[in-house]
Amino acid sequence: MYKMIFSDLDETLLFNHHVSKVNCESIKKARKSGIKFVPTTGRPINMIQEILKEIGTYNCPGEYSIGYNGGMVVENENNRILHFVELSHDDAEIIFYESIKRNLCTFVFTIDCCYIYNPTEYEVRRKIAQKAPFKLMSDTDFSIFKNDTLGKIMISSEAPLRLRKFQKDAEQFLTKNTSISPSAGGRYLECTASGVTKGSGLLWLTDFLKISPMEVIAIGDNYNDESMILEAGLGACVSSAVPQLKTISDYICEKDYKTDAVAEVIEKFISVGGTISS
């Protein structure tokens, strides 16, 4: 019997930065059946509040969200932080300067805000559409973050080969305390504390709630979703998922994020009447 659904956001649940009416209705049905729906994203929690409103879990006790690719777990009521794994300042500083000297678009995420260096027009539009708190930065003195709690550094480029090279180069300057993984089809590199994955966030929350990972469904589309797909009792991916994810998923949707793949999973594995199928 499934008790929870962990869902990636971008290119899984969301289309044009919003949850479709069809997906919202299916999530509502699942929640009425007693199933918890947990958004699981690389974003900080303060960047998904509008999404929580759309799915009906905003500021709700007993409802949960996972941010920073598993590095933060919160109860939605008052965004109460239950679990947080901070990126070390020393490693963050190294990554930051290595990215800046390559003239890559670089994001520094604190708990409260996103700071963007070498911004591209696309990324600025994206942050505005996400209603994300962000600041455009020109001064590259990283010491301004010395008193901040860091969630992650994210790097983007319209040339995926540049990001692949950066990831390979990072093997030479990163310590074992930090890991880098691609996301969004290779458009981004996510730099977090070592061991932080969506799978680790899933395991932390299921342990906290005394639920077996075999009792949960995980839905995703990209490389950073792999760990939660593997940890869940049922791992599902959208039809537009990267090939690697399809090879490890228990179920491959006929639909993609544009055509309500999350609703497809809910309707297939959780019946409308509330009887749970597994």
- CA-to-CA distance for 46 and 273, rounded, in angstroms? 34
pTM, rounded to two decimals? 0.90
Chain region(s) in the chain for CATH 3.30.1240.10: 89-193
3-state secondary structure 170-191: HHHHCCCCEEEEEEHHHCEEEE
CATH 3.30.1240.10, applies to 89-193: yes
3-state secondary structure of 154: strand
Give the total residue count for the chain.
278
Q: Please work out, in degrees rounded to the nearest 5, the angle formed at the alpha carbon of residue 59 by the alpha carbons of 278 and 67.
A: 65
CATH 1.10.10.370, applies to 4-84+197-269: no
Residues 189-247 have pLDDT tens digits of 999 999 999 999 999 999 999 999 999 999 999 989 999 999 999 999 999 999 999 99
Residues 55-110 have pLDDT tens digits of 999 999 999 999 999 999 999 999 999 999 999 999 999 999 999 999 999 999 99
Residues 6 or more apart from 259 whose CB is under 8 A from it? none
- CA-to-CA distance for 20 and 223, rounded, in angstroms? 24
- CA-to-CA distance for 27 and 254, rounded, in angstroms? 18
Chain region(s) in the chain for CATH 3.40.50.1000: 4-84+197-269
**Considering only CA atoms, which of 55, 67, 95 is closest in space to residue 189?**
95
Beta bridge partners of 182: 189
